[in-house]
Copies of this chain bind each other. A is one copy, B any other.
Amino acid sequence: MLGGMPDGAADIVVMKFGGTSVAGAEQIKRAAGRIVAARERGKRVVAVLSARGKTTDELVAAAHEISERPVAREMDMLLSTGERISCALCAMAIHDMGHEAISLTGSQAGIVTDSSHTKARIIDVRADRIRQALEQDRIVLVAGFQGVSTDSRDVTTLGRGGSDTTAVALAAALDAEVCEIYTDVRGVYSADPRIVPDARMLDQISFEEMLEMAASGAGVLQLRSVEYARNHGVRIHCRSSFEDGPGTLVVSEEEAMENPFITGVTHSDAEARVTLTGLRDEPGVAGRIFGALADANVNVDVIIQNEPVGDDQLADLSFTVDRGELTLAREVIDGLGDVAVQVKAEEQIGKVSVVGAGMRSHPGVAAKVFETLGSEGINIEMISTSPIKISCVIGADRVKDAVLALHAAFELGDDAIRPEDGTGNTTSTVAG
């Protein structure tokens, strides 16, 4: 698989480096070193870079110094500069290592999007210029997170974390053998290692599990990029840019060599809940509420509605959102007028989720989750499930306890005897 191939036939590798991996000169040189090493192993390399460390935050702050509601088109023109800076600097570093490199903007790289500024979707990848540069034996650096709108030729951005999607989209268009995502963590873990000391790094995970993990709090990969990878069959490899190690492969379920019972425990302690009491139980009320929230780009997570009680047929409706979107969600609800007798918001809401493809064939996982939380005295306020995930909304102050208890109950730790294969798993120990 490594080296030795004639250039024309060499496999293409897409490598993506996140903000912490290009934060300063030292990190950029390290990323350049990884890129050059892959080239010297005989690969043709396309690297997608994020903006350096806090650059995007600083640009956002500069915009808000000017305007309370910066116009979206100009926000995109502004924010797209961060990734270009990273790419230009990294190209300089690669040149000093004796290789030809060329940096391209999203537009130059052929990332064509719709016109939804600040949250554009990729609709085409016209990678001719990249292919041409690869044929000229150049390493290609592409500014992540951005594209050009097909109708107005304006700079667009894909939303926060969009560089993952850029990388996966390029890997799909170029038929790359792998899309390597370099971050400041070693891979995907069975739980957040900051909470669970014996959290196990996963050798591999299926797209479906990764989607549930990303959606329920694992921050390694952006949800959209995993969806894109699944839909286009792109193998993702999550790796650390700061040390060598096996990392985690995200592959199709068929390709996954093991199919564990439970893959991991994810969590979020930054949610909030809105409860509407005395909601009139008539057709269309929920549609109006969640339609208005969607129009305002509020991501609603878990929803429950009680049975209407009494003669007046009034029901209660609760839903959770990211805490940062609570104010906006309340504004939206208030703007709807008299949908409910009372609207209540709680800020200290958390969520814990258990994810695993093996859950499909193992009944009783939900029961075990509820029992485990119950024995810890943790009150479950809302429940949401999918075929491979169980999420429980709990108080934010109990999230840490819940993660530890569930991780232990399902014996996910590095030293635990795993129920599926009956052996201690030692292959995930990270080298270097």
CB within 8 Å of B: which residues of A? 24-25, 28-29, 59, 62-63, 65-68, 70-71, 73-75, 77-78, 80-81, 84-85, 87-89, 91-93, 95-96, 101-103, 105, 108, 153, 155
Contact = CB atoms under 8 A, between A and B. Distances in A.
A218 B226 CA distance: 58
Given A67-B93, A71-B91, A108-B153, A25 B84 contact: no
A88 B62 CA distance: 10
A267 B219 CA distance: 60
Contact of A92 (B67, B80, B81, B155): B67
Contact of A78 (B70, B73, B80, B85): B85
Contacts of A24: 65
The 8 closest A-B pairs by CB, nearest first: A78-B88, A81-B81, A25-B65, A77-B88, A67-B92, A74-B91, A74-B88, A70-B92
Contacts of A77: 84, 87-88, 91, 103, 105
Contacts of A91: 71, 73-74, 77
A156 B95 CA distance: 18
Contact of A62 (B25, B29, B102): B25
A214 B91 CA distance: 36
A29 B63 CA distance: 12
A77 B93 CA distance: 14
B71 A92 contact: yes
Contact of A74 (B29, B62, B103): B103
A74 B99 CA distance: 14
Contacts of A65: 24-25
Nearest to A24: B65
A366 to B, nearest CB: 49
Contacts of A108: 153
Given A81-B84, A84-B81, A108-B153, A89 B63 contact: yes
A25 B61 CA distance: 11
A178 B163 CA distance: 43
A355 to B, nearest CB: 40
A24 B65 CA distance: 9
Nearest to A91: B74
A209 B259 CA distance: 81
Contacts of A73: 91, 102
A78 B89 contact: yes
B103 A85 contact: no
A24 B61 CA distance: 12
A395 to B, nearest CB: 40
A344 to B, nearest CB: 35
Residue among A67, A77, A103 having the largest count of chain B Cβ atoms under 10 Å: A77
A67 B85 contact: no
Given A62-B25, A66-B25, A81 B85 contact: yes
